[in-house]
Protein backbone atom coordinates (compact mmCIF):
# COMPACT_ATOMS: atom_id res chain seq x y z
CA UNK A 1 0.00 0.00 0.00
CA UNK A 2 2.78 2.44 0.87
CA UNK A 3 4.33 1.95 -2.56
CA UNK A 4 1.03 2.75 -4.28
CA UNK A 5 0.47 5.77 -2.07
CA UNK A 6 3.97 7.09 -2.71
CA UNK A 7 3.65 6.50 -6.46
CA UNK A 8 0.69 8.92 -6.50
CA UNK A 9 2.94 11.67 -5.18
CA UNK A 10 5.58 10.86 -7.81
CA UNK A 11 2.95 10.98 -10.56
CA UNK A 12 1.66 14.34 -9.30
CA UNK A 13 5.21 15.74 -9.36
CA UNK A 14 5.52 14.51 -12.97
CA UNK A 15 2.15 16.15 -13.77
CA UNK A 16 0.69 12.76 -14.72
CA UNK A 17 -2.57 13.59 -13.02
CA UNK A 18 -4.82 11.08 -14.79
CA UNK A 19 -2.48 8.27 -13.76
CA UNK A 20 -2.27 9.68 -10.24
CA UNK A 21 -6.06 9.70 -10.02
CA UNK A 22 -6.28 6.10 -11.26
CA UNK A 23 -3.76 4.92 -8.65
CA UNK A 24 -5.58 6.88 -5.94
CA UNK A 25 -8.84 5.17 -6.87
CA UNK A 26 -7.02 1.83 -6.81
CA UNK A 27 -5.90 2.68 -3.27
CA UNK A 28 -9.51 3.33 -2.27
CA UNK A 29 -10.68 0.05 -3.79
CA UNK A 30 -7.89 -2.16 -2.49
CA UNK A 31 -7.47 -0.52 0.92
CA UNK A 32 -10.87 0.85 1.98
CA UNK A 33 -9.78 0.74 5.63
CA UNK A 34 -6.95 3.23 4.97
CA UNK A 35 -7.14 7.00 4.59
CA UNK A 36 -4.58 7.25 1.79
CA UNK A 37 -7.03 7.04 -1.12
CA UNK A 38 -9.06 10.03 0.08
CA UNK A 39 -5.96 12.06 0.90
CA UNK A 40 -4.28 11.31 -2.42
CA UNK A 41 -7.42 12.13 -4.42
CA UNK A 42 -7.52 15.46 -2.61
CA UNK A 43 -3.95 16.09 -3.67
CA UNK A 44 -4.65 15.11 -7.29
CA UNK A 45 -7.60 17.49 -7.54
CA UNK A 46 -5.63 20.24 -5.82
CA UNK A 47 -2.87 19.79 -8.42
CA UNK A 48 -5.51 20.11 -11.17
CA UNK A 49 -6.77 23.33 -9.63
CA UNK A 50 -10.14 21.70 -8.89
CA UNK A 51 -10.23 23.02 -5.36
CA UNK A 52 -13.88 22.26 -4.60
CA UNK A 53 -13.43 18.60 -5.50
CA UNK A 54 -10.17 18.54 -3.54
CA UNK A 55 -12.07 19.95 -0.55
CA UNK A 56 -14.66 17.18 -0.89
CA UNK A 57 -11.98 14.50 -0.69
CA UNK A 58 -10.23 16.19 2.23
CA UNK A 59 -13.63 16.28 3.97
CA UNK A 60 -13.98 12.54 3.34
CA UNK A 61 -10.52 12.05 4.85
CA UNK A 62 -11.54 14.08 7.92
CA UNK A 63 -14.76 12.07 8.29
CA UNK A 64 -12.78 8.85 7.92
CA UNK A 65 -10.29 9.98 10.59
CA UNK A 66 -13.15 10.81 12.98
CA UNK A 67 -14.54 7.28 12.80
CA UNK A 68 -11.42 5.14 12.70
CA UNK A 69 -9.25 4.23 15.67
CA UNK A 70 -5.71 5.50 15.54
CA UNK A 71 -6.54 9.05 14.47
CA UNK A 72 -6.46 11.85 17.01
CA UNK A 73 -8.22 15.21 16.87
CA UNK A 74 -5.08 16.80 15.46
CA UNK A 75 -5.30 14.52 12.41
CA UNK A 76 -8.94 15.46 11.90
CA UNK A 77 -8.09 19.16 12.22
CA UNK A 78 -5.32 18.80 9.62
CA UNK A 79 -7.84 17.62 7.03
CA UNK A 80 -10.47 20.17 8.05
CA UNK A 81 -7.86 22.89 7.63
CA UNK A 82 -7.23 21.68 4.08
CA UNK A 83 -10.99 21.71 3.42
CA UNK A 84 -11.21 25.31 4.59
CA UNK A 85 -8.20 26.35 2.49
CA UNK A 86 -9.52 24.69 -0.68
CA UNK A 87 -12.98 26.22 -0.26
CA UNK A 88 -11.40 29.63 0.22
CA UNK A 89 -9.38 29.25 -2.99
CA UNK A 90 -12.43 28.63 -5.19
CA UNK A 91 -11.78 27.76 -8.82
**How many domains are contained in the chain?**
1
Q: Is the pLDDT of residue 90 over 70?
A: no
pLDDT of residue 91: 57
User: Which CATH number goes with the domain that contains 20?
Assistant: 1.25.40.10
pLDDT average, residue stretch 12-28: 97
Has residue 27 got a pLDDT over 60?
A: yes
Full DSSP string of 5-33: HHHHHHHHHTT-HHHHHHHHHHHHHH-TT
Average pLDDT value for the chain: 93
Domain that holds residue 42: 2-88
Amino acid sequence: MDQLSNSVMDLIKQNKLDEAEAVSRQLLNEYPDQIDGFERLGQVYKARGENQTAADYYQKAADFAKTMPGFDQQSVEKYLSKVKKMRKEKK
